[in-house]
Structure 1
Amino acid sequence: MALIILGHPNYKNSFANKTVIEELKKSDLDLEIRDLQKLYPDYNIHIQAEQEALLRHQTIVFQYPFYWYNMPAILKHWFDEVFAYQFAYGSEGDKLKGKNFVPSFTVGSSESSYSVLGSQHFRVYEFCKNLEQTALFAHMNYVDPIYFHGTSLAAGYTETDIKNNAKQHATKLIKHLAELG
């Protein structure tokens, strides 16, 4: 069973992340999905409930849109609160040791824009070092991010294209989760 931490601040208006979650729900996987914005619209994270959810699962997927080269504020706040001293790190902070840490996100602009000569100047993986370090610091198994480009209407992508790409992404994620067990 995998835990999906959904960190989308405007999920109801999402095409990409909503499609990914809908496809995950249709899969045969045993999933627990926690929509942070729905659970905590006031950002008052129930730390114990979130930590208990983490303890129930071997694989944790962080599903979110890539915002300003990072994660949305609700998800960052969740990490700040939930990955606490003596839970995720510290002399007795081994509660997440050996669990799988799987970033899964959507990127608004094109793949070509995330290159040295592109408008973003860096590859997406270069913006993920903080995720990798967080996983390593908590003694988790970091899994390379699963993501796809072209999710922004403002960048010229159509709703149909976005949803089709999101379905392909979900298929890849489902396969990966099945392999992780």
Structure 2
Amino acid sequence: MALIILAHPAYETSVANKTVIEELLKSNLDLEIRNIHEMYPDYKIDVKAEQETLLRHQTIIFQYPFYWYNMPAILKHWFDLVFEYQFAYGSDGDKLKGKNFVPSFTVGSSESSYNVLGFQHFRIYEFCKNLEQTALFSQMNYIDPIYFHGTSLAAGYSAEEIRKYAKRHAEKLLYRLLELENRNKNPL
């Protein structure tokens, strides 16, 4: 069973992230989804409950919209509290060792904007180094992010286009999850 930490501050009005989650729920995979913005609107994270949930799963997917070149504030806050000393790191902090860390996010603007000559000036992977380091520091298996561009209605994309891209994204994510599940069943 995989765990999805959903961190979207306006999930009910989302087109992209909501479509991704809806598509994942149609699959036959056993998924647990924790909408942390809905669970903790006051940002008072139940650290022990979140840690216990993490311990039950081999694969953890972090699903969110890409905000200001990073994750939404609630997810950063969640990491700050849940990945604590002697749980995620430290001399006895190996509780997440060997678990899969899968970033899955949506990006509002176009792919062409995320390069040296584009108006964002950097590729998406360059903004993900903090995620990779978090996974490595907590001895998790960092899985390259799954993401797609063109999710902003404000940037001129239609809801129909966004849903089509989101369905493709969900297919890629499901494929990756099946791959990880098979790898866990049949390690080399």
TM-score range, shorter chain: over 0.9
Q: Secondary structure at the match of 1:112?
A: helix
Question: Hey, what does 1:42 align to over in structure 2?
Answer: 42
Give a deviation string over 1:37-61, Cα, whole Å, max 9, x none.
1100000000000000100000000
1:149 aligns with 2:149: yes
Question: Hey, what does 2:174 align to over in structure 1?
Answer: 174
Question: Hey, what does 2:22 align to over in structure 1?
Answer: 22
Give a deviation string over 1:101-123, Cα, whole Å, max 9, x none.
00000000000000100000000
Question: Hey, what does 1:104 align to over in structure 2?
Answer: 104
AA aligned to 2:82 is: V
Question: Hey, what does 2:185 align to over in structure 1?
Answer: none
Q: CA deviation at 1:166?
A: 0.2
AA aligned to 2:155 is: A
AA aligned to 2:136 is: L
Distance 1:74 1:11 in 2: 13
Task: Compute the RMSD of aligned alpha carbons.
Answer: 0.3
* Superposition misfits of 4+ residues, deviation over 6 angstroms: none
Question: Hey, what does 1:161 align to over in structure 2?
Answer: 161
Q: What are the ranges of 5 or more consecutive residues in structure 1 without an aligned counterpart?
A: none
Distance 1:31 1:84 in 2: 25
Question: Hey, what does 1:78 align to over in structure 2?
Answer: 78
Distance 1:178 1:35 in 2: 22
TM-score, L = length of structure 2: 0.96
Q: What are the ranges of 5 or more consecutive residues in structure 2 without an aligned counterpart?
A: 182-188
Give a deviation string over 1:81-103, Cα, whole Å, max 9, x none.
10000000000000000000000
Distance 1:35 1:178 in 2: 22
Q: CA deviation at 1:151?
A: 0.2
Q: CA deviation at 1:135?
A: 0.1
